[in-house]
Amino acid sequence: MVTKLPRIAILGTGNMGGAILQGLTRPGVSLEGVRVTTRTEASASKLRATGLSAESIELSPSANSEAVHDADIVVLAVKPAQISSLLSEIASSAKPEAIMVSVAAGVTLATMEQAWPGAVVRTMPNTPAQVGLGVTGIARGSRVSDDELATIRAMCETFGAVIEVQESEINALSSISGSGPAYVYFFMERFIEVAKERGFSDEAARVMVESTFRGAAELLAQSGESPEKLREAVTSPAGTTAAALAVFGDADIAGIIRAATNAAIARAEEMAKS
């Protein structure tokens, strides 16, 4: 099945913009056209070498305005502090019916709607989008029609799962799925360290940990069981796994996860206020 999408401009190809671009250029996606802008010419040159239309602000200060002139969807993938000025910059060049899609944390729909009179959608994807396994939360602005929301949903579904949320929920979603890959990698790093301390080589430690995490996630996806059920299946009463989980319990890992999530949400709220 091929997903057909209209013309798209991606302004900025950092972590999230680059992940979305990779997701959109995967097999099974048909684009009328995609234009990309980057900060540096070196980045733009690498993208052009893959056959993409890419221009840099470094060589062409008007690259953003030129990229959006015929775009139906404009992905705003610059830093949060630059979103409002970018919208003001491209407002006179973009088509009035273009849908502006932000991936910036902490920048509210109301803020963006002050700079763009048309449809605005906030999205919060994560980096696994680049391999088609992302999770993207989407919150619609006050001027977004059902058809426009469906278009953005279709775009985001090309690189993973989509969850429609209220804007008030997007910071909480970001603290789990948006930041989540970093949490997973953090735990993987720690387990690799422990494996090496136990005498395993760098390669063996990495294979052991990476394959375990990947296999556990794939088993969860294919089995249809809950994480709780699969955890119980591994945990024999009074066995080694139970001993390890007891340590996690004594350390209140659940409480630590809640505290970490709350810290991420609080920071997003601070960013929105500023």
Which residue segments constitute the domains of the chain, with CATH numbers given? 3-165 (3.40.50.720), 180-273 (1.10.3730.10)
Local confidence band at 27 (pLDDT 50, 70, 90 cut-offs): confident
Pick from 213, 237, 238, 234: which is nearest to 225 by CA? Answer: 234
pTM for this prediction? 0.88
Looking at per-residue pLDDT, the higher value among 137 and 19 belongs to 137
Residue 114 CB neighbour total at 10 angstroms: 13
Q: CB–CB of 208/221 below 8 Å?
A: no
β-bridge partners, 137: 124, 163
The predicted-structure confidence for 212-244, as pLDDT tens digits, reads as follows 999 999 999 999 999 999 999 999 999 999 999
The predicted-structure confidence for 166-213, as pLDDT tens digits, reads as follows 999 999 999 999 999 999 999 999 999 999 999 999 999 999 999 999
Quote the pLDDT of residue 1: 67
SS3 at position 123? strand
Pick from 157, 189, 161: which is nearest to 3 by CA? Answer: 157
Please give the share of the chain, as a percent, with pLDDT higher than 70.
100
Local confidence band at 29 (pLDDT 50, 70, 90 cut-offs): confident
In the structure encoding, which two tokens stand for residue 268, read together?
A: 């997003």
